[in-house]
Structure 1
């Protein structure tokens, strides 16, 4: 028992060492493995993010005045308010009450809906089977009718 515990601990230590080695390789790949153009793109992005945008401050320096943002114009609120007022108007109250809408659905309505397609297939198969049975009966009657006619002919021939 003690031997198996020692063996398990040794395996756990080996596993930890392998994981550390893999993490080290991944970190090296992330830092060393990046292409040069990707590093250049990141530098350009950092420069773009450092760019000043002056919205509320009016600078006195000519260089900074070029970075000043134009004054924002407030959006028209009148149209939005009109739309909201129209939406808030009450819809006309329904005079007649439809009892079908008030009555609760039967507990198995969803089962019927889900099974409807399968029932359509079965209905088609049933109709085909009924038609086939009718054909077989008609053929059987035709055969028996033909046999009856032949037997009647033989009786006439025998009686002559």
Structure 2
């Protein structure tokens, strides 16, 4: 038992030394507390009861039976009528009717395959050049194979007549 008393005394001495050290540290840093060395938070809690007024009790969800407490009850909140606001917003958001009707025929292309023709046009030009070159080469070969120019012209006209039929 004596050993425990001695340890308690030693612990109290250490606590006092820490209090003194903390007080000295506060004085160095410029903090001003009460003289007994209590922190500011404790001082504020103690000071609330002395100088500060208690807040008024307001009962929002509790229905008291006592008449004194019934006076402190907060009246039930009434929901705001939103029908008028919603009607106004709907009227404002309503689009005006479009008097000019859009003709779908003007929006649609004249021919449904115009884009395909546009994309193929470059390839067709290249093929047309190759076709003209091949026709010219065939004509030269025929001319070389025949003796006279007149007979070549006759065969070409005959060939064109056959192609046109």
Q: Give TM-score, length-normalised by structure 1.
A: 0.30
Which has the higher relative contact order, 1 or 2, with Cα contacts under 8 A spaced 6 or more apart?
1
Structure with higher helix content: 1
TM-score where L is the length of structure 2 = 0.29
